[in-house]
């Protein structure tokens, strides 16, 4: 069984990129641990929180890029993920690089660098969405 593309986005890239985006406005070093960090639903406040959470979520985004190229996955409307379109691989690579850019920025613990990396990330999500998502549900993934 495979998640469809929308489920994969909602379950991985969406929460992961929110951790990267949050580091623009909130200094992750200042986020206190949750009352029970081992059960925290906010990665920044978890046992593996603060800047480490930003690093790990940036890496996760780069890794999820590989899941976007797996054969057999469907979009929510039943169409195949458009792996055969040459620009799909290009958009996936842009996402992978955006993940690595965010990882490098998180390692510097510099919020200005995070703002730059967040812009790169936003562009990577958007370039693919403009082509394959921002349309009527039936026309997505064509």
Binding site for ligand HEC (CB under 6 A): 4-6, 9-10, 13-14, 17, 61, 68, 75-76, 88, 91-92, 95, 121, 124-125, 128-129, 132-133, 140-141
Map tokens 């039936």 to a residue.
Answer: 138
Minimum distance from residue 37 beta carbon to ligand HEC (Å): 25
For residues 17 and 14, give the distance between their C-alpha atoms in angstroms, rounded to a whole number. 5
Please say which residue, 36 or 80, places its beta carbon nearer to ligand HEC. 80
Using an 8 Å Cβ cutoff, are 117 and 53 in contact? no
HSE-up (13 A, CA, CB side) for residue 84: 4
Q: Using an 8 Å Cβ cutoff, are 68 and 13 in contact?
A: no
H/E run at residue 121: helix 111-132
- Shortest Cβ 36–ligand HEC spacing (Å): 28
Whose Cβ is closer to ligand HEC: residue 26's or residue 76's?
76
Closer Cβ to ligand HEC, 105 or 121, answer by number: 121
Between 5 and 36, name the residue whose CB sits nearer to ligand HEC. Answer: 5
């Amino acid at each position: 069984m495979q998640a469809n593309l929308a489920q994969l986005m909602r379950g991985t890239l969406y929460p992961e990129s929110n951790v990267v985006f949050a580091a623009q406005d909130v200094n992750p070093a200042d986020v206190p641990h949750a009352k029970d960090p081992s059960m925290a639903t906010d990665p920044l406040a978890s046992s593996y929180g603060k800047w480490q959470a930003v690093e790990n979520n940036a890496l996760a985004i780069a890794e999820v890029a590989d899941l976007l190229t797996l054969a057999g996955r469907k979009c929510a409307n039943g169409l195949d993920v458009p792996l055969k379109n040459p620009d799909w691989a290009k958009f996936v690579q842009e996402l992978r690089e955006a993940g690595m850019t965010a990882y490098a920025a998180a390692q510097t613990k510099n919020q200005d660098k995070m703002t730059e990396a967040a812009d790169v990330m936003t562009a990577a999500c958007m370039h693919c969405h403009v082509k394959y998502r921002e349309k009527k549900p039936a026309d997505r993934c064509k």
